[in-house]
Amino acid sequence: MASTQTRRHARLLTPAEVPEAAKMLRDGALVAFPTETVYGLGADATDGRAVARVFAAKGRPAFNPLIVHVAGADQVAALAVMDATARDLAARFWPGPLTLVLPLREGHGLSPLVTAGLDTVAIRVPAASLARDLLQRVGRPVAAPSANPSGRVSATRAAHVMDGLGDRVDAVLDGGPCGVGLESTILRTAPLALLRAGGLAVEEIEAALGRSLPRDITPGKVQAPGQLSSHYAPARPLRMGVRSRDRQAVLIGFGPVSGDLSLSESGDVIEAAARLFDLLHLADSLAAEKGADRIDVAPVPETGLGRAINDRLRRAAAPRDMPQP
């Protein structure tokens, strides 16, 4: 019923059209594609604007970090640091339904929105041949959350993606139903912990490691968007909703409020999301240069991605000696 009312803009691509899907991703489009676990909503992970559109399409109320997909384990070295345990797990289970959360490597080139400002990145090498072919052709890391609107169940068929997101993505690559049908198992390796149970059985991982896996699946703890790395949490106090300049502060503008820097001069929340983490970082260095002791941010509307932006800003503005939610 709902599906017949959905406006459909997305192109449905056949497996023979993988080269077109890859080209679209390289050009900054949103392309949903099948992995063996569930369909992912893909975007070039190095393109901040494309990544921002992923959050807008899903309607996520906050910037949760996304999983980065690569064609092979050899492509991980440029993005993240793998210790011996990570290398063992990768050798044993990649390609497959396992995601590893690893420390980011300097010069990784990913949009900071992908990791939501954390200093770790979640990476997986999917096994589905269509996904591997696609990733190989894109030649860049592809960020992809499950291809469902926020709060709805994951999509395991192209038709599910069309129903849920058909009017918000550019294309859906149809590879038939997903074999596993359950999201990947997520592991952090340093320190070792299970973050999400999923398509790879915990018993299999424990058998491979020869020891039991500590669980760290307290929901608020893993996904808390308050876990900004110090790199992206401004060192100075932050004030929101500021419309005019003050010599004691660096002003981050938006739309009509022009500051020392601007999230988006045209008042585009997608552009603002793509620039947010970079600008918070930049504002700190600028404040150090100017001798300013505060960062002010212009009002950002509470619509679309503006909600997630404000969520982040509120956390950054919270007093430092209080525990972050």
Chain residues in the site for Mg ion (CB under 5 A): 146
Q: Which is nearer to ligand TXA, 101 or 283 (CB)?
A: 101
Task: Give start and end residues of each alpha helix (H) in the chain.
Answer: 2-5, 18-26, 48-58, 84-93, 129-138, 158-165, 202-209, 219-223, 269-290, 305-317
Q: Are 73 and 163 in contact (CB under 8 A)?
A: no
- Could you tell me the smallest distance in angstroms from the CB atom of residue 294 to ligand TXA? 29
| Rounded (10°) CA dihedral 115, 127, 171, 139 | 70
What does 264 bind: ligand TXA, Mg ion, none (CB cut-off 5 to 8 Å by kind)? none
Q: Which residue is nearest to Mg ion (CB)?
A: 146
What does 115 bind: Mg ion, ligand TXA, none (CB cut-off 5 to 8 Å by kind)? ligand TXA
- Could you tell me the smallest distance in angstroms from the CB atom of residue 198 to Mg ion? 10
> What span, in angstroms and rounded, lies between the C-alpha atoms of 131 and 80?
21
Q: Which is nearer to ligand TXA, 66 or 297 (CB)?
A: 66
Q: Which is nearer to Mg ion, 46 or 223 (CB)?
A: 223
> What span, in angstroms and rounded, lies between the C-alpha atoms of 136 and 25?
12
**Which residues make up the interface to ligand TXA (CB under 6 A)?**
35, 37-38, 40, 64-67, 99, 101, 115, 118, 120-122, 124, 144-146, 183-184, 186, 195, 222-223
Q: How many residues does the chain have?
A: 325
What does 127 bind: Mg ion, ligand TXA, none (CB cut-off 5 to 8 Å by kind)? none
What does 184 bind: ligand TXA, Mg ion, none (CB cut-off 5 to 8 Å by kind)? ligand TXA
CA angle 264, 145, 99 (to 5 degrees): 125
- Could you tell me the smallest distance in angstroms from the CB atom of residue 136 to ligand TXA? 16
Q: Which is nearer to ligand TXA, 101 or 309 (CB)?
A: 101
- Could you tell me the smallest distance in angstroms from the CB atom of residue 292 to ligand TXA? 31
> What span, in angstroms and rounded, lies between the C-alpha atoms of 198 and 86?
18
Q: Which is nearer to ligand TXA, 164 or 267 (CB)?
A: 164
DSSP SS3 for 186: strand
Q: Which is nearer to ligand TXA, 220 or 291 (CB)?
A: 220
Q: Are 286 and 261 in contact (CB under 8 A)?
A: yes
Residue given tokens 């129903």 in the structure block? 163
First to last CA, the chain: 39
- Could you tell me the smallest distance in angstroms from the CB atom of residue 265 to ligand TXA? 31
Q: Are 222 and 99 in contact (CB under 8 A)?
A: no
**What tokens appear for 231 in the block?**
């790199």
Crossing angle of the two packed helices 48-58 and 269-290, in degrees rounded to 10: 130
What does 310 bind: ligand TXA, Mg ion, none (CB cut-off 5 to 8 Å by kind)? none
What does 35 bind: ligand TXA, Mg ion, none (CB cut-off 5 to 8 Å by kind)? ligand TXA
What does 234 bind: ligand TXA, Mg ion, none (CB cut-off 5 to 8 Å by kind)? none
Q: Which is nearer to Mg ion, 163 or 271 (CB)?
A: 163
What does 64 bind: Mg ion, ligand TXA, none (CB cut-off 5 to 8 Å by kind)? ligand TXA
Q: Which is nearer to ligand TXA, 154 or 310 (CB)?
A: 154
Query: Which uninterrupted H or E stretch holds 69?
Result: strand 67-69
Q: Could you tell me whether strands 39-44 and 142-143 are parallel, antiparallel, or unpaired per DSSP bridges?
A: antiparallel
